[in-house]
Amino acid sequence: MGTTLWQRTWRNVARNKAMYVMVIPGLLYLLVNNYLPMLGLVIAFKDVDFAKGIWHSDWIGFKNFEYLFKTSDAWLITRNTLGYNAVFIVVNFAFSIAIAIFLNEITSKFFSRFYQSVLLLPYLISMIIVSYLVFALLSQDTGMMNHTILPLFGIKEISWYNEPVYWPFILVIVNLWKNAGFLCVVFLAAIIGIDKEYYEAATLDGASKWKQIRLITIPLISPVIVMMLLLFIGRIFYADFGLFFQVPMESGPIMNATNVIDTYVYRGLMQIGDIGMSAAAGCYQSIVGFVLVLLSNYVVRKINKDQALF
């Protein structure tokens, strides 16, 4: 029945000409900017020799991937990467949704704008600078924690950069602090987009504010939440390099708590600078993310077909 499919497609094109034209620039761009370079993933399977050129270099199968698995740290970095990102998603989503909802409740225009601007501040500062700010707090010699805050409670000074137990918390907090503003803007836009009539009707029915939030706001922004969730799951095997590399200041004793796949790859390849091996890491990360997203999209589709991405 090939012809009917063609006919159907053609009819759809004829009826929605404008929409077909509209997507062209975007798709063209993705083709050039994203899909064309993807051909380069072959580098991950090659022993690149520039005398032969990239395309004609020898195939070496999965040899470039070996270093990711051969180390005794393979389990550790996998666990850290997935574990931290999972916690980040839960904590960041919970907080930024709460912030967005509260922001929406603020009636004073001045305060609403003030909070919004201020919340975005951390998102604007580069991770290297953030690492200095964290250092300002935690430095053993001169940090504020050890100098002013801990003595107030009569606690002895702590060697923050040498004690791995604190770092899961520090990293989660820094990540939240840095990214909550960004996520919150997304959710706020979704909340603002909700038709005010729903709330008016609910108020007339005597529904309390809490009830309105629970029964109107959350359900109506849930498509955005689910979509964002899927996007973040797709990147779950990519760690925020800046956060994990800069903020711990490369301190060795805490590395079991701060080493993730991206930092591992960076440190490992610093000297060798092998493009095949770094391409292999990217490839591995993408595939894990891809599998996880397919799974979660499948689950979402089972629950609510409309909210699935594809």
Partner 1 sequence: MNKFKRHVSGLSLVLALLMVLTACGGGSKGGEEASGTQASGGESANSGDTPEIVMPFFVLNGIPEDMQAVNDEINKITKEKIGATVKLMPISYGTYGQQTNLMLTGNEQVDLMVVGTWFNYTTQVAKNQLLPLDDLLAQYGQDIVKTLGDNYISAGKVKGKTYGVATMRDLADMYGLVIPKDVLDKYQIKTEDIKTFDDVGNLLATIKKNEPDSTPLVPFGPGDSLLDNYMTYDNLGDKLGVLPGDATDLKVVDWFEQPEYADLLNKIRSWYEAGFIMKDAATNRDSGLELMKAGRGDVLLTRIKPGYAEQESRLIGKPVVTIPLTQPQARTSSVANMMWGIPRNAKYPDKAMQMLNLMFTDKDVANLLAWGIEGKHYVVKSDGVAGYPDGVDQNNSKYNLNQGWMFGNQFLTYVWEGDSPDLWKQLQAFNDSAVPSKALGFTFDQTPVKTEVAAVQNVLNQYKMALEWGTVDPAKVLPEFRKKLKDAGIDKIIAEKQKQLDEWAASK
Partner 2 sequence: MTSQNRLIQWTAHAFLMLIALACILPFLLLFMSSIADEQAILRDGYSLFPAEFSDAAYRYLARESTQLIRAYGITVLITVVGTSVGLAITAMLAYPLSQKAFGPRKPLTFIVFFTILFNGGLVPTYLVYTQYFDMKNTIWALIVPNLLMSGFNILLMRTFFLTSVPDAVIESAGLDGAGQFRTFVSIVLPLSTPILATVGLFQGIGYWNDWFNGVIFITNPAYFSIQNILNRILMDIQFLSSSNMSSHVGDAMSSIPGTTVRMAIAVIGVVPILIAYPFFQKYFVKGIMIGAVKG
| By the rule CB under 8 A, 13 interacts with partner 2 | yes
Q: How many CA atoms lie within 13 A of 269 on its CB side?
A: 19
Sole window of 60-68, 86-94, 152-160, 285-293 interacting with partner 2 (rule: CB under 8 A): 285-293
Q: Which of residues 153-212 bind partner 1 (CB under 8 A)?
A: 159, 161-162
First to last CA, the chain: 24
| By the rule CB under 8 A, 248 interacts with partner 2 | no
| By the rule CB under 8 A, 53 interacts with partner 2 | no
120 binds, among partner 2, partner 1, none (CB under 5 to 8 A by kind): partner 2
| By the rule CB under 8 A, 295 interacts with partner 2 | no
Closest CA to 127 of 186, 179, 168: 179
| By the rule CB under 8 A, 28 interacts with partner 1 | yes
204 binds, among partner 2, partner 1, none (CB under 5 to 8 A by kind): none
Q: Which of residues 120-149 bind partner 2 (CB under 8 A)?
A: 120-126, 128-129, 132-133, 136, 139, 141-144, 147
Sole window of 55-63, 81-89, 94-102, 202-210 interacting with partner 1 (rule: CB under 8 A): 55-63
Q: Which of residues 199-238 bind partner 2 (CB under 8 A)?
A: 208-209, 220-221, 223-224, 227-228, 231, 234-235
Instruction: Rule CB under 8 A: choose which of 57, 64, 217, 278 binds partner 2.
Output: 278
Instruction: Rule CB under 8 A: choose which of 2, 154, 206, 273 binds partner 1.
Output: 273
User: Rounded CA gap, 158 and 161, in Å?
Assistant: 9
Specify the residue, 75 or 223, whose C-beta has the smaller distance to partner 2: 223
DSSP letter string over 195-255? Answer: -HHHHHHHHHTT--HHHHIIIIIHHHHHHHHHHHHHHHHHTTTS--HHHHHHTTTT-GGGH
DSSP letter string over 94-150? Answer: HHHHHHHHHHHH---HHHHHHHHHHHHHHHHS-HHHHHHHHHHHH-TTT-HIIIIIH
Q: Which of residues 84-123 bind partner 2 (CB under 8 A)?
A: 98-99, 102-103, 105-107, 109, 111, 113-123
CB 80 within 8 A of CB 257: yes
Environment class of 150 (CB within 10 Å of its CB; exposed 0-12, middle 13-18, buried 19+): middle
| By the rule CB under 8 A, 115 interacts with partner 1 | no
| By the rule CB under 8 A, 66 interacts with partner 1 | yes
Closest CA to 84 of 161, 168, 166, 167: 168
User: Rounded CA gap, 87 and 175, in Å?
Assistant: 10
User: In sequence order, which residues have a C-beta less than 8 Å from that of residue 97 and are 6 or more positions away?
Assistant: 184, 187, 218, 221, 225
Instruction: Locate 28 and state its tokens.
Output: 């063209």
* Neighbour count for residue 70 (Cβ, 10 Å): 9
19 binds, among partner 2, partner 1, none (CB under 5 to 8 A by kind): partner 2
For partner 1, the binding residues (CB under 8 A) are 21, 24-25, 28, 31-32, 36, 48-56, 63, 66-67, 70-73, 132, 135, 139-142, 159, 161-162, 249-253, 255-256, 259, 264-265, 267-275, 277
